[in-house]
Structure 1
């Protein structure tokens, strides 16, 4: 179990000294205050304005699980370009369709500067999706050819997100805020057919900072409605691991911190079967991929090798109180990602 106790979230991530506040937080950081960050290069000299601008990276992601479909929506700004997608996975047919956007220098793309308030949007007036954040509550609006939605993602009462700030590389930092097993309300229409949302669950991911120029991560995410209630899980390895990790599960809204995560698979032989565990013994899962959203981009100074899988999780979760939860063929996401940005 993660032994570090959360501290109250600061109003601003960047303090009066121009440096970020690090740690696990209770609640959301209202303002990253990136402009106040005093950024230095590897030789401890003040970084240029150009370096400070282009070295900042940000992405936001939402996953929604209904009885029939899984939706994944992402907007990523790496300064040189903004990349976005919206995919729709048909659970019964095992079929994935998607819309994609690639905008040089982020033209026509907007991201929120805060996980508590603001708006992120990509696309045109009649073909777009948007994350609208008000008082920490995420709303998702979609207007695409085969998907229309006005959705509200709501955590259980008093449920806290994962809110984490860690040092990254020699002189950078990463702020991550995530919340799984959120209730979904509103309206969702797919292929002109209204979708029931009574048992739908969702999660969001807000990540931003001065990340490593070359970085890679593995990630697992579950939003499950089980006989023991709503279970959310977020596991990752590769980014936020300097003193703290972003590994956590939510059981009916209660947050349980977990130890470091291990992802075992061989992408050169077969990447459709993973073994995933934590070093505290509280997670022991297998993952069997059913489908995959892939993207490869190699421009030399920018590289992106992205694979997000949809598949079945089976195994055991144990919360911080010692209660055991059994998962059998529970749908979820896994990701294997390399980026040079």
Structure 2
């Protein structure tokens, strides 16, 4: 019989056997003890060469988004080991005008990730750009500016139960993700000569924090967003296919912060014209959504051994959710979908 599992072990990403602790968790893991990671099929700790390989294979990012009736905003700090990048965009929904900011920096020095998804800091600094994401158990504070063209000061209130998922990727990889959606957000966004006040009652935030060793070739679809149902309840949702589907999934929705888990999801859309309507449904019938794109951010990278094809439409969601007892009809909901293919 094994000994008693300590609190420290319960909070660790990597178990005592050196392997990731795959599963769903009710709260964020707080020890990213990657130095204890043992490659599949290997005995003992990784060699110095293997640790060097892992450093450049590790993928880590945080995406923060918000939607309301007037705008859709997204920002991400991404570190891929051999390069890091920052992107942000703001979409004015009434006139369908898109503003975007993109920076890529070779190597990993422009972006630093300290701490965890629950309590930590992410900093991207390059030239006149500085973005800081400070995470605490009850809030996420996003501040900074990008190339003097965008200034943000936003607070995301973590009033939703977190979705914490650690899954196997192929035979040797793993992926840890922390998702929350439908969060109240308040603060300011300034760009051009405009300054927008974001009010928590009418804004809905999305969090995606991911850390892992995905496959050399990776594909996924993702959908997330928030809004109100016809009874006025605060709704959020997060759905994916193509990744985090081995043993456990990250598919769920939230009603006034209460997490409702769902089965695997199916995405139907026109790959030649991704701005046509999408259909997204879960296998257990709990999710039946229609997505109507209003715009999109796209980015392609192709250089040497690296290929990335990224499409992130954003717009309006309609449809129904159910927890098995209550049918929830979306009234005013918006958010993001995504198609991403990468060789990295």
Q: Same fold (TM over 0.5)?
A: yes
CA distance in 2, matches of 1:151, 1:233: 21
Residues 86 and 57 (structure 1), Cα distance of their counterparts in 2 relative to 1, 3 Å cut? same
Moved over 6 A (4+): 41-45
Q: Distance in 1 between matches of 2:149 and 2:89?
A: 11
Partner of 2:232: 228
Q: Structure 1, residues 278-320: CA drift from partner, whole Å, max 9, x if none?
A: 00011111112111100011113111000001122121111x2
Name stretches of at least 5 consecutive residues in structure 2 with no aligned partner.
1-7
1:146 Cα offset (Å): 4.2
Corresponding position of 1:218:
221
CA distance in 2, matches of 1:204, 1:315: 22
Alpha-carbon spacing, 1:311–1:44, altered in 2? closer, same or farther (3 Å): farther
Q: In structure 2, the residue corresponding to 1:17 is in which secondary structure?
A: coil
For the 8 Å contact 1:40–1:46, the answer to whether it is kept is no
SS class of match (1:266): coil
Q: Take 1:10 and 1:136, find their aligned partners in 2: how far apart are those partners?
A: 21
Retained in 2: the 8 A contact 1:42–1:171?
Answer: no
Of the three residues 246, 253, 269, the one matched with 1:249 is 253
> What is aligned with 2:4?
none
Cα RMSD, aligned residues only: 2.4
Corresponding residue for residue 99 of structure 1: 101
* Worse-matched range after superposition: 293-302 or 42-51: 42-51
- Measured against aligned partners, the alpha-carbon deviations of 1:18-50 in whole angstroms (never above 9, x if no partner) come to 111111100111122111111247999956232
Alignment partners' CA distance in 2, 1:286 and 1:146? 34
**Structure 1 residue 53: Cα displacement:** 1.6
- Tell me how far 1:148 sits from its aligned partner: 2.5
Residue aligned with 1:195, SS: strand
Answering whether residue 124 of structure 2 is matched by residue 84 of structure 1, we say no
Secondary structure in 2 matching 1:50: helix
Deviations 1:245-290, CA, capped at 9 Å, x for gaps: 1000000010000010000123135552211100001111111211
Residues 117, 136 of structure 1: 8 Å contact kept: no
Which whole-Å deviations, capped at 9, do the CAs of 1:3-23 have from their partners, x for residues lacking one? xxxxx9931111222111111
CA distance in 1, matches of 2:328, 2:174: 34
Residue 35 of structure 1 corresponds to which residue in structure 2? 35
Q: 1:217 to 1:112 in 2, by over 3 A?
A: farther
Residues 81 and 108, structure 2, Cα contact 8 Å, conserved in 1: yes
Contact 2:253 2:259 in 1 (8 A): yes
Name the CA shift for 1:52/1:127 in 2 (closer, same or farther; >3 Å): closer
Q: What runs of 5+ residues in structure 1 fail to find an aligned partner?
A: 1-7
When the two structures are superposed, what TM-score results if normalisation uses the length of structure 2? 0.89
C-alpha deviation, 1:59, in angstroms: 1.3
Partner in structure 2 of residue 110 of structure 1: 112
TM-score between both structures, scaled by the size of structure 1: 0.90
Matched position secondary structure for 2:116: coil
1:161 and 2:162 aligned: yes
User: Are 1:172 and 2:173 matched, yes or no?
Assistant: yes
Does the C-alpha gap of structure 1 residues 41 and 131 become closer, same or farther in structure 2, counting only changes over 3 Å? farther
What's the CA shift for 1:134? 2.3
Give the paired residue count.
331
